[in-house]
Structure 1
Amino acid sequence: MTSTKLPLPTGIKFVFGGTAGMSATMFVHPFDLVKSRMQLSGEGGAVKKNKTSFHALARVLRNEGFLGLYTGLTAGLFRQATYATTRLGVYTTLFDMMQSPDGQPPSFTTKILCGITAGAFGAVVGTPAEISLIRMTVDGSLPLEQRRGYKNVFNALYRICVEEGVFTMWRGCGPTVFRAMVVNAAQLATYSQSKQLLLSTGFFKDGISCHFCASMISGFVTALSSMPLDIAKTRIQNMRHVDGIPQYRGVLDVWVKTAHQEGFRSLWKGFSPYYLRIGPHTVLSFIVLEQLKKLYYVL
């Protein structure tokens, strides 16, 4: 059966994308914080402050209290307002453009290309918020003399510009774009494909249970494939310059140093909170997005 619904207006697609991403962030931000701290724990072969994700979580609760889990939330929300709004808006726009005249969805390959394109656009727009998020979430784990003490995302962006220069807001833009391309190719394309396959079995209807299962499949594939790029992005965006010399020269340098000093498996360090963040975030984002679409057509 083909769809007779008119495509959503372009502006609505972007608004719905941002709203879905920000709604999901309210629930999964603590996992983002734990993930960032795990990725920087033991950096350069130093003694690990956080041996496991549960250890990292316990340290935050013990040293910073429950609200410490939401340190950097303003940056997380601003990231979704920029990154998620752009990527989901671009993806849904391209998806509708690539559908056949009779409403048949585009091929899996086309979905991947739409996801890659959407991710690249979103990453460029969202990199300043990404840098603020990384720095704010790891600040509480640093020695007092090394903490940046940003008050909120706007204070972070202002101080980065004043203290380090405007272009620092796009530091690590390369790995951020590459990660986003992988994440979106995996997340958006596998979500659409998983949903399509689940519906074709006859056991699922186009409802929340189908969206949940498709999102969890998508989240696992996304976490597994993008983790090394996420670690590279995190370390580059949080690095300091010593005597004008950067700690890392690029993504490959991060991978080589991390694998040599901390072991190859360290490229997937923090996988549990990463998946616990990206899986539910995928689930919640797409559930909210799907429900907003349905509400739009009802109203």
Structure 2
Amino acid sequence: MVVIKKDRGMASNLQRAIRTYGFISLYDGLSAQLVRQLTYTSLRFHLYEMGKSHLDDPDGLLDKVLVAGLAGCVAGVVGTPMELINTRMQVNRALPKETRWNYRNLFDGLYRVTRDEGFTKLYSGCLLSFMRSSFITISQNAAYDQAKQIYTEWFHMKHDNTLLHLISSVTAAFICGPIIKPIENLRYLRMVNSRRLIHSISYMMRFGSRGPFRGIVPYLLRMVPNTVITFLSFEQLRVNFGYIEEIEDDK
């Protein structure tokens, strides 16, 4: 939806992709996405939690924002090459046949970009990737912690309450979506076609004020369950590791 010129909606794009290329085409870029989640996402969560543990006031919103921004930026250095391959694999079928990359998987993509375009090309659109990574960590992790803190006070919930984690996660996802989408769309365009930034902005605005938020519905449909599952799993891990630490302390 971000790359194609035609003004087709989510349902139309899904139908077209399945009819033309089959259901499996919806999973283009899966290998890059999985490795990206295992590395970049795990790293920014770890760095954020580690940074919070060194804060004098871990409940302060500004402190959490600063730590989240730094954690996201550092994780972005690791994640940008995988973001590039993931983006290209996802939009590959939407391009004319003569301009397609046809990467077989993440590692084939990394090798071919390095061989054909040079190592630095792996960081095409890196500034936008670093910005996105910082803002997504702020609007997910910091927003989640702040929402959880607010809901705990308002509804007098316990910190290990599943409903508390659920509503805090959904809140963070809906804060994250509108903030990240314009940066995300620009990043897509820069990674697919490394034209000047002003040209990418102009192309993004081809649908007027809807341009920066093009694809917001499928983005939220992905972001909300992804955020909920990620934070619920993370909280469970934190409880389990905390429990293990308590046992070791008792011993």
Please give the TM-score of this superposition, normalised by the length of structure 1: 0.77
Aligned residue among 72, 80, 84 for 2:29: 72
5 Å-filtered alignment, 1:122-133, equals 122-133=75-86
Q: Give the Å deviation of 1:99.
A: 4.9
Contact 1:258–1:264 under 8 Å retained in 2: no
Q: CA RMSD in A?
A: 1.6
Contact 1:139–1:149 under 8 Å retained in 2: yes
1:207 alignment partner in structure 2: 161
2:241 alignment partner in structure 1: 296
User: Equivalent residue of 1:98, what SS?
Assistant: coil
Q: Give the Å deviation of 1:77.
A: 0.9
- Structure 2 unmatched ranges of 5 or more: 245-251
1:277 alignment partner in structure 2: 222
1:181 alignment partner in structure 2: 134
User: Equivalent residue of 2:54, what SS?
Assistant: helix
Aligned-partner Cα distance in 2 for 1:256–1:150: 28
Q: Give the Å deviation of 1:264.
A: 2.3
5 Å-filtered alignment, 1:1-299, equals 38-42=1-5, 48=6, 51-99=8-56, 105-202=58-155, 204-205=157-158, 206-239=160-193, 246-247=194-195, 249-250=196-197, 252-259=198-205, 261-299=206-244
The aligned length equals 243
Q: Relative contact order (alpha carbons < 8 A, sep ≥ 6): 1 or 2 greater?
A: 1
1:7 alignment partner in structure 2: none
Aligned-partner Cα distance in 1 for 2:235–2:15: 35
Aligned-partner Cα distance in 2 for 1:184–1:133: 19
Equivalent position amino acid for 1:117 in 2: L
Equivalent position amino acid for 2:4 in 1: S
Aligned-partner Cα distance in 2 for 1:137–1:93: 33
Aligned-partner Cα distance in 2 for 1:115–1:146: 37
Please give the TM-score of this superposition, normalised by the length of structure 2: 0.91
Contact 1:74–1:152 under 8 Å retained in 2: yes
Question: Identical aligned pairs, as a percentage?
Answer: 31
